[in-house]
Chain A
Amino acid sequence: MSKQHALVGQEAIEVKGWVGAHRFLLLRRASQFGFLLLFLLGPWFGIWIVKGTLAGSMTLDVLPLTDPLVLLQSLVAGYWPSLTALLGGGIVLATYALIGGRMYCSWVCPINPVTDAANWLHRKLGLPKGWQPKRNTRLWMLAGILIVSGITGTIAWEVVNPVTMLHRGLLFGMGFTWALVIAIFLLDTFVSRHGWCGHLCPVGAFYGAIGSKSLMRVSASARSACDDCMDCYAVCPENQVISPALKGKPGSSQLILAPDCTNCGRCIDVCAQDVFHFTHRFDERVAEPSDKTLAPESQTA
């Protein structure tokens, strides 16, 4: 995609420094590691702040959280869960509906570092895109797992779900989950660019759907400053979301409103022109190319 560039993001590093050009990447890794550490503090050090796994947890013995997709499968399978689980699911649902469903993917999900590493290697090796199923394949997967849950009367996806399995594996013991993780790494490295998170994962599809009207958005508010370096397209795991905002007709919204956007903030990092920044979905302000005041630290996670 960026044949003219020796390195994607090189220009941003020169302008903003390495840390400045990796700000959201570093924050994201800190967030992913932090969430994992919260869960690991108990079994490793006996500090029980959070118990359980991403499928269901209890924080400080008061805050229940439940994965709403697991709950939905349970409901489809014909079981009505207890109030604690429903409450936990409601809290998670409301949170992601507000901040952007796929924030889960890029800031929490333990598979994300795996697929990011795979994509990093994929880019280093200069491999072709490979197998690219349609982006909506994951919606079919989502429908599929719900249908199978209904038919078999089980929470079907949890039999193979690499997201909860890796998390549970790190906390309770891996078994053969490593094989699953390696399979996804190989898929994303050699078989299909952004294959898992970008095309197949039904968990991402579900979170994308619940956050489709979320408040927190990335805006290409300084899109007139874009110098067509294409670095944002190169790093974005869902780069089909960029064009409508960045290259839209004059007068069109410069907000990235597509539910596929994971709010990872890499586009903000790699843009030497500071075209992008985090804001809310009603912020239609257009920044002047040189206006640096509109790249505020509105990031909250």
Chain B
Amino acid sequence: MPAAGSPLSTERRRFLTETARAAGACAIAGSALAYLARDARALPAEALRPPGALPEDQFTSACIRCGLCVRDCPYDTLELADLGADGPATGTPFFTARNVPCEMCDDIPCVAACPTGALDPGLTNIDDAKMGVAVLVDQENCLNFQGLRCDVCYRVCPVIDEAISLEPLHNTRSGHHALFIPTVHADRCTGCGMCEKSCVLPEAAIKVLPARLARAEAADHYRKGWEEKDANGAPLVDGLIDLPDRLPGPGTDNLAAPGGFEPVFQLPEVAQ
């Protein structure tokens, strides 16, 4: 109903006002949604993604939350996050290793079921999966660290002796036994969670963590002298005198070792 005399300007004003209102409301609602969407990208540490899941920032753009991976998981490992009840973004698939670990099916049905590729179909060998990395988080309570032969995490590991090995270590408490230390080799660990599930303690001493929490990252500029030397086939600096290494044990100039003797060269006393 344009006002008489200036129909165009009234209509234009109304159009502009309404557009501004709608755009304003849209911006407010959009900001709230953006906040929620960003927030939903923070995945809790105990929630593990299915095998082959894309990196988390890509995963939330690729997973349509259809639940087909959950349906095709023969062990009911996977579940969809419930609104407000579970940590991961609502409707996305995850599993909790301590509840039901991944059984690492050879045919990887969850990946085959994914219609979008959020679970990467490039994963054809389940041993290459990287759902997380097992970390022995509590050495003080781990039974093997106390000299007992629990070994359960090692025994249940589907990639036994490659992803987890037992490394003997001197038992200083008894003086004549060995500790068999469960040692995770991250490059072979799939993060299936069998070890965490099977840990006999009331709260697991070994836990599967997302790689971002479990792994350090070596700086690009670090060079290891012994590797560089091997690659070079010769010392990297010409004319270096290779002095004998000071080793513990009898016959060396180390007083701390049994049979050690006083070093010939004494450091000069520093005036206090």
Genuine A/B complex? yes
A binding-site residues for B, Cβ under 8 Å: 42, 48, 51-53, 55-58, 64, 66-67, 70-71, 74, 77-79, 81-82, 84-85, 88, 133-134, 136-137, 140-141, 143-145, 147-149, 151-160, 164-165, 168-169, 171-177, 179-180
For the complex, give the distance between the alpha carbons of A71 and B62 in Å.
Answer: 9
For the complex, give the distance between the alpha carbons of A85 and B119 in Å.
Answer: 13
Report yes or no: B25 in contact with A140, Cβ–Cβ below 8 A.
Answer: yes
**Chain A residues within 8 Å of B83, by CB:** 165, 169, 174-177, 180
Report yes or no: B58 in contact with A172, Cβ–Cβ below 8 A.
Answer: no
B23, B26, B81: residue with the most chain A Cβ atoms closer than 10 Å: B26
Report yes or no: A176 in contact with B26, Cβ–Cβ below 8 A.
Answer: no
**Chain A residues within 8 Å of B27, by CB:** 144
Report yes or no: A165 in contact with B91, Cβ–Cβ below 8 A.
Answer: yes
Closest to A180 in B: B83
Q: Which of B66-74, B94-102, B235-243 contacts A (4 or more CB under 8 A)?
A: B66-74
* 14 A-B pairs whose Cβ atoms sit less than 8 Å apart in the complex: A51-B71, A51-B113, A52-B66, A70-B65, A77-B61, A81-B115, A85-B117, A148-B34, A152-B34, A159-B37, A168-B65, A171-B67, A172-B67, A176-B83
Residues in B142-186 with C-beta less than 8 Å from chain A: none
**Chain B residues within 8 Å of A155, by CB:** 60-61, 63-65
Report yes or no: A74 in contact with B116, Cβ–Cβ below 8 A.
Answer: yes
Interface size of B by CB at 8 A reads 46
A270 to chain B, nearest CB (A): 31
Is B82 part of the contact surface with A, judged by Cβ < 8 Å?
yes
**Candidates B18, B26, B37, B85; contact of A156 at CB < 8 Å:** B37
A64, A67, A79: residue with the most chain B Cβ atoms closer than 10 Å: A79
Instruction: Give 3 nearest A-B pairs by CB, closest first.
Output: A175-B82, A56-B66, A176-B84
**Candidates A71, A85, A140; contact of B23 at CB < 8 Å:** A140
For the complex, give the distance between the alpha carbons of A85 and B22 in Å.
Answer: 33
For the complex, give the distance between the alpha carbons of A158 and B23 in Å.
Answer: 22
Report yes or no: B90 in contact with A158, Cβ–Cβ below 8 A.
Answer: yes
B13 to chain A, nearest CB (A): 16
For the complex, give the distance between the alpha carbons of A152 and B85 in Å.
Answer: 23
**Chain A residues within 8 Å of B67, by CB:** 51-53, 168, 171-172
Q: A55 and B64 in contact (CB under 8 A), knowing A85-B115, A165-B90?
A: yes
For the complex, give the distance between the alpha carbons of A140 and B22 in Å.
Answer: 7
B130 to chain A, nearest CB (A): 19
Is B200 part of the contact surface with A, judged by Cβ < 8 Å?
no
For the complex, give the distance between the alpha carbons of A55 and B92 in Å.
Answer: 12
Residues in B25-61 with C-beta less than 8 Å from chain A: 25-27, 29-30, 33-34, 36-38, 40-41, 57-58, 60-61
Q: A52 and B18 in contact (CB under 8 A), knowing A152-B38, A154-B41?
A: no
Report yes or no: A78 in contact with B61, Cβ–Cβ below 8 A.
Answer: yes
**Chain A residues within 8 Å of B228, by CB:** none
Task: Mark interface residues in B100-116 (1 if CB within 8 Å of A CB, else 0).
Answer: 00000000000001111
Report yes or no: B82 in contact with A134, Cβ–Cβ below 8 A.
Answer: no
**Candidates A81, A148, A156, A177; contact of B62 at CB < 8 Å:** A81
Report yes or no: A58 in contact with B80, Cβ–Cβ below 8 A.
Answer: no
Report yes or no: B29 in contact with A141, Cβ–Cβ below 8 A.
Answer: yes
A186 to chain B, nearest CB (A): 18
**Candidates A56, A70, A143, A145; contact of B33 at CB < 8 Å:** A145
Closest to A84 in B: B115
**Candidates B18, B65, B85, B114; contact of A164 at CB < 8 Å:** B65
Is B89 part of the contact surface with A, judged by Cβ < 8 Å?
yes
For the complex, give the distance between the alpha carbons of A42 and B26 in Å.
Answer: 39
Is B86 part of the contact surface with A, judged by Cβ < 8 Å?
yes
Report yes or no: A159 in contact with B90, Cβ–Cβ below 8 A.
Answer: yes
**Chain B residues within 8 Å of A48, by CB:** 71
B23, B34, B117: residue with the most chain A Cβ atoms closer than 10 Å: B34
For the complex, give the distance between the alpha carbons of A57 and B116 in Å.
Answer: 11
Is B196 part of the contact surface with A, judged by Cβ < 8 Å?
no
B170 to chain A, nearest CB (A): 51
For the complex, give the distance between the alpha carbons of A147 and B89 in Å.
Answer: 19
For the complex, give the distance between the alpha carbons of A79 and B62 in Å.
Answer: 6
For the complex, give the distance between the alpha carbons of A297 and B130 in Å.
Answer: 57
Report yes or no: A58 in contact with B115, Cβ–Cβ below 8 A.
Answer: yes
For the complex, give the distance between the alpha carbons of A89 and B41 in Å.
Answer: 25
Report yes or no: A154 in contact with B22, Cβ–Cβ below 8 A.
Answer: no
B71, B84, B113, B116: residue with the most chain A Cβ atoms closer than 10 Å: B116
**Candidates A56, A145, A153; contact of B64 at CB < 8 Å:** A56
**Chain A residues within 8 Å of B40, by CB:** 154, 159
